[in-house]
Every structure is written in structure tokens, then in C-alpha cells.
């Protein structure tokens, strides 16, 4: 590393007893909302389930144990363009061939938490019954304003974050690498491929974002038009959160930063409705797993800065949104995800070399089905190892 390169420093945050005492006091003092009889999850978060979750958060959840587990990951912070970026950097274990560096980018409402279950599967495949030749060096950053990365003074869009990640990978010691992600991480990975094609060997995504098309609708295949109608219908029934975060994020942030019960409600409803859970969130996430994700948001006070990225992305010019990715691209469209594009759209927008439709897993596939997700990445990137 040259003298002018930013230097990563090991990072192991630890919450203070005062922070945890304050959290528990707020949880125990929750002023509970009423709910119509038998509303369940139909109007948003199930209040009965939320009461269980908050009660466990206050009197059963062991954050120090979860924090210690996260501390066993090789975690660092490094200054990039004036922002401290937190990331996991886990190197391949006993590889039997060329090692491919891979940057994994999460989305909302989570952090590096999304990929915690797949890191060892990717760095040490031989220990999990897979081919040691498929080992990766894995870099998993927190987006700016998420988790333990700094909150920017003005929210950055996915284009800007892709530029940061290119510098982050240089700081981590890599000039050529693969990129993968879902949700906002799909956007960032896309712009890494678009703006740094000389460095990104291939890009893997679990979605294609929301459709933007400026041409003649007659050019679209029937399945593309049907998909766009489905996306519009989904937005009408499920898109209120995005409209809030895109237009008035500070309004919701005031309450969510002050109330841990409110924060949990905002996040757990998405874990439930976006996962392959059949309406039972604990089919996919234990209370400890949910609360680890939510507690990271609480202790770092990043729900507002995370939401503001939606506003920043809403201002990306259409000309950027409609660029075609020429870097070799792969898609794993999990059956339980919320907005599943047809292959015709994927081929319209990217140089597609592989598309699969795994039978299990939803929007948080890397956490819901870590073994399956890891195998998808091994299979896709195998031809691009050099």
C-alpha cells in the first residue's frame, strides 16, 4: 500500500452499559398503539407480535453476546473521501486455486448484517462441503449512513457510493474484483460495473431494481409489460414506506430515532413482508436475528441517514438509470422476492450470462438461505476466476 493510500484500522465497537440501560428503559415505557381486532399484519406490523418482540428486547435479548459474535468477524474502518467506512474483510481460507475478491453490498433496512451468514461459506467453501477452488476474499461494507459507517452530511446516491467502493477495494488491496448485491446493493453493484468496467470482472444481482423505460412501449415484450403493471400495483399497495423515505424522511426519522418500539415496527414489517416467510416472520428470522439488525440501527442512530439515501437516489438522472451494463452479469431471482423481473427485461438492461430462479428465499436471500445464496455466487463467478 502506498503512503498516500488510506489505512484501514481494526474496529470492534462496544455498547456502554448506559446505552443499554437507556434502551431497556425506553422499551419498558412504550406507549402502545391500539389495533383493530384480527388485523394481524394486514395493516402493517402485527401489534401482538411487536409486543412479544419488544418484551424480549427489554428483558431477554443479550446484545453483548451478539456484539461479541459480530466482533469475531475481521472488521475494519477506513477513511474514504472524508467518510469513515466500516467493513468486514475476510480472506479465503486454504484456497486451491486463484482467489477472486468479492464486494457484497447490502440494502435497506439492514447493514453488513445481511451477509454475516454467508461470509464463511464464501471464504472457506471446503469446510462446508463445497469446492475449495471456489474460495473468495470477501469485503462487506456498510453503506454510508448505515450501520457503523459515518453518516454523510448530505446523503449519497448509489452512483456516488459505487465510486467510494472502487476506492475501498483499492484500499483493501484489490484492483480487479467481482461485485454482488441486492436492493440498494443491486444499484451500487450496477454502477460499479457501469463506471468501473476495467475493474469489475462480473456482477451478480438478486434483482434489477424498479423498471425505467423511455422508449416506445410497443418495443417491450408482453412479459415485460405485464411485469411493469405488477410493479405499479405493488407500489400502490406496498410502496408507502418508499414514498415517505423518498420525500419526507425527516418526519418519520424523528419518531424512529426516539422510539425503539417504533424502529422495530418499521423494520420488522419489511422483514416479514419481503421474505419468503408465508406471513410468519419467525420462519425466516429468530428474534435474536431480528433484534441484532434493529439494535445496530438503534445504537448507531442511523435510521434517518439510511432513509435519506432513498431521497438521494430519487434525484439520479434518467440517463443514468437507463444505461445498459456491459460487464458480464448474472441474476438469481429468488422465488419469494417481491418484484421479480422477467428474463427479457434483464437481457434488455444487462449483458446477461446467467439467470437462475432459486425455489426458496426472498428479498433477504443471503440471510434467509445462506447456503443456497453462496452456491449461486460460486456457480456464477467460477468462469471469471483468473
Tell me the per-residue pLDDT of 245-284, one tens digit each, with 9 for 90 and over.
Answer: 999 999 999 999 999 999 999 999 999 999 999 889 999 9
Confidence band of 308 (pLDDT split at 50, 70, 90): very high
Q: In angstroms, what is the C-alpha Rg of the chain?
A: 20
Are the CB atoms for 211 and 232 separated by under 8 Å?
Answer: no
Instruction: State the average pLDDT over residues 204-226.
Output: 95
Catalytic residues: 183, 310, 363
Which domains, ranges and CATH numbers included, belong to the chain?
9-29+41-384 (3.40.50.1820)
State the pLDDT confidence band at 97, using cuts at 50, 70 and 90: confident
- Which triple of cell numbers denotes residue 225? 409489460
Whether residue 76 has pLDDT greater than 60: yes
- Give me the pLDDT at residue 279, please: 82
Instruction: Tell me the average pLDDT across 284-313.
Output: 98
* Long-range CB contact pairs, 49-54, < 8 A, 24+: 49/268, 49/281, 50/261, 50/264, 50/265, 50/268, 52/287, 53/264, 53/268, 53/287, 53/290, 53/291, 54/27, 54/30, 54/260, 54/261, 54/264
What pLDDT does residue 184 have?
98
* Confidence band of 3 (pLDDT split at 50, 70, 90): low
Angle at which helices 184-195 and 158-171 pack, to 10 degrees?
70
Q: Is the pLDDT of residue 1 over 60?
A: no
Q: What is the mean pLDDT of the chain?
A: 96
CA dihedral 76, 79, 85, 88 (to 10 degrees): -20
pLDDT band at 194 (very low <50, low <70, confident <90, very high): very high
Residue 6 has pLDDT above 90, yes or no: no
- Its pTM stands at 0.96
The answer, yes or no, to whether residue 386 has pLDDT greater than 80, is no
Cα–Cα distance for residue pair 334/346, rounded to 1 Å? 14
User: In this model, does residue 334 exceed pLDDT 60?
Assistant: yes
Note whether 306 and 146 are within 8 A (CB).
Answer: yes
For the beta sheet containing 9-10, the strands, ordered from the edge strand earlier in sequence to the opposite edge, are 9-10, 75-80, 83-90, 136-141, 100-105, 177-181, 200-205, 325-332, 350-356
**pLDDT > 90? residue 337:** yes
Q: Is the bond preceding residue 109 a cis peptide, omega within 30 degrees?
A: yes
Q: Report percent pLDDT > 70 for the chain.
A: 99
Tell me the per-residue pLDDT of 30-47, one tens digit each, with 9 for 90 and over: 999 999 999 999 999 999
d(CA 30, CA 52): 12
Amino acid at each position: 500500500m502506498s503512503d498516500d493510500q488510506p489505512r484501514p484500522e481494526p474496529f470492534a465497537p462496544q455498547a456502554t452499559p448506559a446505552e443499554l440501560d437507556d434502551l431497556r428503559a425506553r422499551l419498558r415505557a412504550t406507549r402502545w398503539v391500539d389495533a383493530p381486532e384480527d388485523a394481524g399484519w394486514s395493516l402493517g406490523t402485527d401489534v401482538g407480535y411487536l409486543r412479544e418482540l419488544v418484551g424480549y428486547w427489554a428483558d431477554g435479548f443479550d446484545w453483548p453476546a451478539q456484539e461479541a459474535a459480530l466482533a469475531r468477524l475481521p472488521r475494519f474502518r477506513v477513511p474514504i473521501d472524508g467518510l469513515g467506512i466500516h467493513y468486514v474483510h475476510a480472506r479465503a481460507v486454504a484456497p486451491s486455486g486463484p482467489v477472486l475478491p468479492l464486494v457484497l453490498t447490502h440494502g435497506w433496512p439492514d447493514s453488513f448484517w445481511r451477509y454475516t451468514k454467508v461470509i464463511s461459506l464464501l471464504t472457506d467453501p471446503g469446510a462446508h462441503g463445497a469446492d475449495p477452488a471456489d474460495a473468495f476474499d470477501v469485503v462487506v461494507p456498510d453503506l454510508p449512513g448505515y450501520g457503523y459507517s459515518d453518516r454523510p452530511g448530505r446523503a449519497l446516491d448509489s452512483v456516488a457510493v459505487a465510486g467510494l467502493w472502487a476506492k475501498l477495494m483499492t484500499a483493501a488491496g484489490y484492483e480487479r474484483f467481482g461485485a454482488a448485491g441486492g436492493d440498494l446493493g443491486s444499484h451500487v453493484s450496477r454502477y460499479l460495473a457501469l463506471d468501473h468496467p476495467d475493474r469489475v470482472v462480473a456482477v451478480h444481482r438478486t434483482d434489477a431494481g424498479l423498471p425505467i423505460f423511455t422508449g416506445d412501449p410497443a418495443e417491450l415484450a408482453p412479459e415485460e409489460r405485464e411485469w411493469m403493471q405488477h410493479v405499479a400495483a405493488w407500489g400502490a399497495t406496498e410502496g408507502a414506506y418508499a414514498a415517505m423515505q423518498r420525500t419526507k424522511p425527516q418526519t418519520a426519522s424523528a419518531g424512529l430515532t426516539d422510539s425503539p418500539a417504533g424502529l422495530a415496527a418499521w423494520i420488522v414489517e419489511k422483514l416479514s413482508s419481503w421474505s419468503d416467510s408465508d406471513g410468519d416472520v419467525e420462519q425466516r428470522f429468530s428474534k435474536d436475528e431480528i433484534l441484532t439488525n434493529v439494535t445496530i440501527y438503534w445504537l448507531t442512530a442511523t435510521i434517518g441517514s439510511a432513509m435519506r439515501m432513498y431521497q438521494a437516489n430519487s434525484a439520479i438522472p434518467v440517463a443514468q438509470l437507463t444505461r445498459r451494463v456491459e460487464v458480464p452479469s448474472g441474476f438469481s431471482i429468488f422465488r419469494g422476492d417481491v418484484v421479480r423481473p422477467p428474463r427479457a427485461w434483464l437481457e434488455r438492461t444487462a449483458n446477461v450470462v446467467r439467470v437462475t430462479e432459486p425455489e426458496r428465499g426472498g428479498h433477504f436471500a443471503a440471510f434467509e438461505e445462506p447456503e443456497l445464496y453462496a452456491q449461486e455466487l460460486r456457480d456464477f463467478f467460477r468462469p471469471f476466476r483468473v
